[in-house]
Homo-oligomer: A and B are copies of this chain.
Amino acid sequence: MRKVAVVGAGKTPFGAFAGRDLRSLAVEAGEKCLANAHTQPGQIEAFYLGNFAGPSFAGQNHLAPYISTALGMRGIPATRFEAACASSGSAFFHAVSSVAAGLYDTVMVLGVEKMTSQPTGRVTEILAAAGDCSGEIAAGSTFPSLFGMIARRHMHDFGTTREQLAAVAVKNHENGLLNPDAHMRKAITIEQAMNARPIAEPLGLYDCSLISDGAAAVIVTAADNASEYTDKPATVLGIAQASDFLALDEKEDITTFPAVRAASRKAYAMAGMRPADIEFAEIHDCFTIAEIIATEDLGFTVRGNGGPFARSGATRRGGEKPVNASGGLKSKGHPVGATGVAQICDLMQQIRCEAGPRQLARHAVGLAQNLGGSGATCVVTILGAAR
């Protein structure tokens, strides 16, 4: 297998953009990405699209050629990948694998979602279709309530507290305040987070990520060709995708995600690295409890210690393991199909030293963790500065 490099990245701001449609967001991200890689549509040999629910949110299916042709790429294989909130992480995994295997030299991966044109209740319904609709969802669950149960169990088993959950929210809002492309740029205090309106107890308003519009794109190529596109490439050191049951009730234990463990162990093995080698991470904080559990499943801290780890400041920008310096899904926003590729864009900004006031001291090796549903899909990527 060949080494693969990311040589271009582009994204839209995340937010609620009345009057912008899905395709215009995707085209903006794609064109920024092409410009960032100093290349043209004609150089792209395949188009990998991540999108969760374009038909339901935006009334448009068959989205891959719809977007690729608008970007001036006619004729090439153009395919949509759907894996719930890990849709574009999965598209990125398949694109990197294809280039590594020599199927293509240069491909574009783009993630997009346009969510805010639907009322919130309908958004919740559309998102719930990523759970088991004949079981847990039919019984009345929503994603906030599923993660509420996960949080409650984590509290029960490990003594995790509301304050520790709040620490995740406060940190991510603090980081997002410095991100000009973030959806919600607003500092909050531990007290505000703890006393916020309950959504699905023990989760309150600030424990939940945002409903956003946005798109993100990257170009990947064989590492040997990277200098044709950029003098600041990043290398994919490790990557893996894993799966698990959709329904919480099929799992032995809801306080850990086997797909996160499996994907990260494979990605670490591919990179020849241990968790301690990761200098910073973008983690799928769809809910604050998800970030806490991910820090455990990724091996950043031991099982059950994710709460104290968050509260200790270890995951803040100046801490030992900065997590979600971008603001995360909490503050940057979570247009679900865009999130996986947006995480790769965020890693690129840090690796390229282009993160402005959010720039981390140690930024040579970053990890992205993209979760689908309540853990049925996970993609983990380890990206490093090209040496």
CB-CB nearest in chain B for A101: B101
**Shortest distance between the CB of A322 and any CB in chain B (Å):** 28
Contacts of A373 in B (CB 8 A): 62, 65
B residues less than 8 Å from A376 (CB atoms): 62, 65-66, 69
CA distance A66 to B372 in the complex (A): 12
Q: Does A355 sit at the interface, judged by CB under 8 A? A: no
Residues of B within 8 A of A97 (CB): 98, 101, 103
CB pair A62 B250 closer than 8 Å:
no
Which chain B residues border A63 with CB–CB below 8 Å?
82
Q: Which of A112-162 contact B (CB under 8 A)?
A: 126, 129-134
Is A377 an interface residue when CB atoms closer than 8 A count as contact? yes
Q: What CA separation (Å) do A171 and B250 show in the bound complex?
A: 48
The answer to whether B74 touches A134 (Cβ under 8 A) is: no
Residues of B within 8 A of A74 (CB): 243-245, 258
Q: Is the CB of B62 within 8 A of A372?
A: yes
In whole angstroms, what is the CA distance A241 to B129 when docked?
A: 29
**Interface pair B101/A69, CB less than 8 Å apart:** no
How would you classify the secondary structure of chain A's contact residues: helix, strand, loop or mixed? mixed
Count residues of A near B (Cβ-Cβ below 8 Å): 61
Distance of A97 Cα from B90 Cα, bound (Å): 16
Contacts of A250 in B (CB 8 A): 69
For residue A19, give the distance in angstroms from its CB to the closest CB of chain B: 13
Given A62-B82, A69-B250, A242 contacting B372 (CB threshold 8 A):
no
Instruction: Tell me, rounded to whole Å, the shortest Cβ–Cβ distance linking A62 to chain B.
Output: 4
Which residues of A in the span 13-71 have a Cβ within 8 Å of any Cβ on B?
Answer: 21, 23, 47, 52-53, 55-56, 59-66, 68-69
Known contacts A75-B258, A81-B79, A262-B75, A377 near B243 by CB under 8 Å: no
**Do residues B241 and A79 form an inter-chain contact, with CB atoms below 8 A?**
yes
Number of copies: 2
A53, A61, A97: most-surrounded residue (chain B CB, <10 A): A61
Measured between alpha carbons, how far is A84 from B52 in the docked complex, in Å? 14
The verdict on A385 contacting chain B, using a C-beta distance below 8 Å, is: no
Our pick among B84, B93, B240 for the contact of A61 (Cβ within 8 Å) is B84
**CB atoms of B66 and A246 under 8 A apart:** yes
Q: Do B65 and A82 touch across chains, with their CB atoms under 8 A apart?
A: no
Q: A69-B244, A244-B74 are in contact. Are A377 and B62 (CB under 8 A)?
A: yes
Known contacts A62-B372, A69-B243; 13 additional CB pairs below 8 A are: A1-B102, A47-B243, A62-B82, A62-B84, A62-B129, A65-B376, A69-B376, A75-B243, A78-B377, A79-B83, A79-B241, A94-B94, A101-B101
Q: Which residues of A contact B (CB under 8 A)?
A: 1, 21, 23, 47, 52-53, 55-56, 59-66, 68-69, 73-84, 90, 93-94, 97-98, 100-103, 126, 129-134, 240-246, 250, 258-259, 262, 372-373, 376-377
The 8 closest A-B pairs by CB, nearest first: A101-B101, A61-B129, A77-B241, A65-B243, A62-B84, A62-B130, A78-B243, A65-B376
